[in-house]
Structure 1
């Protein structure tokens, strides 16, 4: 099982996926972490150097195709908060979005594997939803 965790520093769980520095990709089996690697975010719009530019005008898209492709094979993405478009896109592509207040990435994955990680569904941002 592959679990992805949004992380700015390869240690803590982070939020805003479009601006996160990267993702820790965990390989897990039998409820244990076997391996992990850090995947730098160079595939979201903000992660590709557009961090200061966040326009919601004409031409701005919130598609997450590059993110979905980069996380291919992951069954879960753990993060602290995210927008409703991201949630819908992850779910549509077979990746379970799991928002939590757990701060330490390794601990979040261990708790997820044991069924003890608390999900914070109210961390969804509905900005711009009509």
Structure 2
């Protein structure tokens, strides 16, 4: 089993995974880490820049661990057969060991990491209702 960990600075797990270009790739067997390699991608090979249909250097891994994933990246990874795993850990090797020991959840949706709306503004409806005749600018354009 191959597990990749997003680590832009090579020491900690990255929070913004879509633009990440540096990954630790762990080869695991029978719940143990057998090998680890560092993989650095070009800017054009980040998940943000590549199409889900194009070949990617991380094709063939089973899981990608990172601090969080946007909804688009989650769909992109799942279309490649890669399971996105959000973790609160910052140490790459410790996160892989926890994943192998099943001591962390298989997937934490963004709404659990960033609040009930997955990081989107929750007051949008209230802001829209504040203005005169429902205009968000307070009705200044309607005068």
TM-score range, shorter chain: 0.7 to 0.9
Structure 2 gaps of 5+ residues are 121-143
For 2:47 and 2:58, the matched residues in 1 are separated by 15
Structure 1 gaps of 5+ residues are 47-60
When residues 6 and 105 of structure 1 are mapped into structure 2, their CA distance, relative to the original with a 3 A threshold, is same
Normalising by structure 2, report the TM-score: 0.68
Q: Of the two structures, which has the highest relative contact order with CA contacts closer than 8 Å and spacing of 6 or more?
A: 1
Higher Cα radius of gyration: 2
Please, what is the CA RMSD of the aligned residues?
Answer: 2.4
Within the candidate set 19, 44, 47, 2:46 is matched to 44
For 1:19 and 1:70, the matched residues in 2 are separated by 15
Normalising by structure 1, report the TM-score: 0.74
Aligned residue pairs total 112
When residues 111 and 126 of structure 1 are mapped into structure 2, their CA distance, relative to the original with a 3 A threshold, is same
The within-5 A match list for 1:13-24 is 13-24=13-24
